[in-house]
Amino acid sequence: MSESVPIVDVTSSSGQLARGSLRTSDAIAISVSVLAPGMAMALNTGGVASVAGGSTPLSFVLGGVACLTLGFVVIGFTRRMAVAGYAYTYASRSLGKQVGFLAGWMYAFGMAAFVPMTMAGVGYLAASLLGLDPGYWILFFLIGMALLMTLSIVRINVTTKLQIGVAVVTVAILVILDLVITAKGGAHGQSLQPFTFSKTASGGFHGVFYGIIFGVTSYIGFETAADFGEETANPRRAVPIAVIVSVVFAIVFYVWTTYAATIGFGVNALKHNPSGWVDNGLIPVATRYIGTWFGKLIDIGALLAAFIVSVACATASSRTLFAMGREGVAPAWMGRTHAKYKTPVNATAVVATVSVVLALVIGYGFASANTGGPALTIYYFWATVGTLAIILVYITICIGGIVFFKRTSPRFNPLTHVLIPLVGAVIFGAAWYGSVYPVPAAPINATPYLTAAWLVIGIVVLVWLNRTRPGSVARIGSILGEEGGELVEALDQP
């Protein structure tokens, strides 16, 4: 028998977010900005191509299927509860408070890892575009972090307007490239071979599933609107719409872009030597099919997208820390909001500070020429760590969805409520396995151990909380913003 847990309404909390301040379009903007499609296609696809080769689009198809199943589960939860820190609350309400704590622990860590990753991308691209020595990445990194703090603290609906503007521009640039390459037929015409296992650069099945790790990295964040349930007007309608729009958009856009790039380079050429894509991203095909100037435009778009996703990941991570602090399983001061803007300023400061430290440690302590120097080592290292952590959370949410639907759905259907989440869990599990075996090169080979170490630390913290703060553990997942505040249209009235 499950224990009865009182639901605490957020309006009675001392730390209250700006409820009802986001429209459906804002929720979509948040999810799409964390996806950062411009950055994902410019910087992540090379990592996938290094092993998936000419089968790179297949890695993105399978990653998209897994995320689509996860989206189904997240929508099932969002129709019943609106929260800040969705993974933390959903896992606690389905699999128990201890699992919920660990889900929040790993999710906040994973999203925080994406902040130094993406901001290092900003530093690398800025130095490259300005023709400066690559060592200047740190200057642009620190400037970007200062801007991140400012944008993360001001009213969230202000930030989302900037996010959606950047997303539209960067996507438009890549759509033009996709249209041109597809219309010209690439190097050797249209082909379905990119959607088979036979064109990988590294071992068929392994090549595709190892490639999924960066494929999934590109999809991570499509569900981030669920983290802003308390700040969204009519969240039970708005958040599901945002989740389904963002994941369907991502699947279509990513598969099309990787397909266009694959036929642009040549399917068989990528199978034998994907270094052109790995080393230079989409620049070679942009230059070949449109012109050098368009390659520069793609770099500019990737820089802007990287900055926006860094802000979005910081806000997502801070909402989870805020939710945990508000319920007493993280320091209470993390559960406080800015007096004017009603944003989790303390949690945001923690995320920003930790991000700088993580970047400096990897960039100056473990940089490798094999991964492109300090900035790109930071990018690939923390991208892998963050993805490994988030994949564990995704698997947890998929399994939790089965339990939750079984307990709450009056029309429980094994096909939709068991098989669909299970498919997602299996694909995510295969991606996790494919990312750690065979063992990648240093320093990326340390990422599974770091992820596991963080999980072990979380278990130790949980044991300590059970012994010293049992009341706080009992409140895990109990604070819900069921109605999401007043309708946002009322905010437009004088």
List of domains in the chain: 8-484 (1.20.1740.10)
Q: How many CA atoms lie within 13 A of 255 on its CB side?
A: 17
b/e for 274-286, b at 16 or more Cβ within 10 A?
A: bebbbeebbbbbb
For residue 478, what pLDDT is reported? 64
For residue 157, what pLDDT is reported? 58
List the pLDDT tens digit at each of the 494 positions of the chain: 333 334 444 444 445 555 556 778 878 877 887 787 888 898 889 888 988 999 999 999 998 998 999 999 998 888 777 665 678 888 998 999 999 999 989 988 998 999 999 999 999 999 999 999 999 999 999 999 999 988 877 765 566 677 778 888 999 999 999 999 999 999 999 999 999 988 988 777 777 877 777 778 788 888 877 766 666 778 778 888 989 999 999 999 999 999 999 999 999 999 999 999 988 889 999 999 999 999 999 999 999 988 988 988 888 888 888 888 888 888 889 988 888 877 888 999 999 999 999 999 999 999 888 778 899 999 989 988 998 999 999 999 999 999 999 998 888 889 889 999 999 999 888 878 877 777 878 898 999 999 999 999 999 999 999 999 888 888 876 654 443 333 333 333 33
Q: What's the Rg (C-alpha) of the chain?
A: 21
Distance of CA 34 to the CA centre of its chain: 6
For residue 320, what pLDDT is reported? 83
CA angle 60, 91, 229 (to 5 degrees): 80
> How far is it, in rounded angstroms, from Cα 415 to Cα 211?
28
Helix (H) or strand (E) holding 8: strand 8-9
For residue 488, what pLDDT is reported? 32
For residue 14, what pLDDT is reported? 45
Nearest to 289 by CA among 172, 182, 379: 182
